[in-house]
């Protein structure tokens, strides 16, 4: 038995005896995956007056699917009670809930954009994250939002979750809000592409637009 194995056994035995982990750098063995991990990888269950902390027996990756399934069962069996619990939770610390919700949305948005050629506008090259959105290439965004939003146009982050669930299907691209809005106003083509061959929309759409309205005048400010 090497020194590292002996040290791991000592740490695990200490955790079994005390059930605590109050020192930064302490380790604990997950009962599910049986891997020795830092206590920061476990949820804190209780803090004692002496400064010690009791941690969950399962690590966070092992606990999350169990907690998710439990919430699903609770919602299915007692929907009204579950909704009341969620409302109470949100009301108790509304700002913290909003911050958590924003962070979840940000991570979903980044994950989706990385799957569609990166966090950059496919038209003008804009890279500021707050200025980017997902665009429906075939200009069917309104109809699609009604479908995934159960009749509601404002789907929020539901679109990003839908893309993740459906394994990032084709027909979508990353655009900045300016290009996305310009594409909507100009009948499916961004102002940037009216005089140039486009890599983000079909050539047929560009020609059709020019035949209908002619080449627009550029306004330089």
Question: pTM of the entire structure?
Answer: 0.56
Residue ranges covered by each domain of the chain: 3-60, 63-102, 105-193
User: Which residues are 27's β-sheet partners?
Assistant: 38
- Which one, of 16, 39, 29, 32, lies nearest residue 66 by Cα? 32
Query: E strands along 104-145, which residues?
Result: 132-136
Q: What is the secondary structure of 143-202 as a DSSP string?
A: HHHHHHTTT-S--TTHHHHHHHHTT--SSEEEEEHHHHHHHHHTTSS-GGGTTS--SSS-
CA dist 87 and 71 (Å) reads 15
For residue 219, the model assigns a pLDDT of: 35
For residue 14, the model assigns a pLDDT of: 42
Please write the tens of the pLDDT for every residue from 34-91.
Answer: 999 999 999 999 888 888 889 999 999 999 999 999 988 988 888 898 888 888 877 8
Question: Are the C-beta atoms of 200 and 193 separated by less than 8 Å?
Answer: yes
Fold (CATH) for 3-60: Wheat Germ Agglutinin (Isolectin 2); domain 1 (3.30.60)
């Amino acid at each position: 038995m090497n020194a590292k194995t002996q040290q791991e056994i000592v740490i695990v035995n200490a955790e079994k005896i005390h059930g605590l982990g109050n020192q930064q750098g302490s380790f604990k063995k997950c009962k599910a995956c049986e891997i020795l991990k830092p206590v920061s990888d476990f949820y804190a269950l209780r803090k004692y007056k002496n400064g010690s902390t009791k941690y969950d027996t399962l690590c966070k990756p092992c606990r999350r699917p169990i907690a998710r399934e439990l919430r699903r069962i609770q919602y299915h069996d007692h929907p009204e009670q579950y909704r009341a619990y969620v409302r109470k939770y949100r009301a108790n610390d509304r700002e913290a809930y909003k911050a958590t919700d924003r962070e979840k949305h940000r991570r979903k948005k980044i994950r989706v954009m990385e799957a569609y050629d990166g966090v950059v506008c496919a038209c003008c090259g804009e890279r500021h994250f707050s200025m980017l959105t997902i665009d429906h290439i075939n200009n069917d965004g309104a109809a699609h939002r009604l479908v995934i939003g159960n009749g509601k146009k404002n789907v929020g982050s539901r679109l990003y979750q839908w893309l993740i669930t459906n394994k990032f299907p084709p027909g979508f691209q990353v655009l900045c809000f300016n290009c996305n809005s310009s594409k909507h106003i100009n009948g499916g083509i961004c102002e940037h592409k009216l005089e140039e061959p486009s890599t983000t929309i079909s050539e047929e759409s560009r020609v059709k637009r020019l035949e209908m309205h002619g080449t627009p005048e550029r306004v330089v400010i």
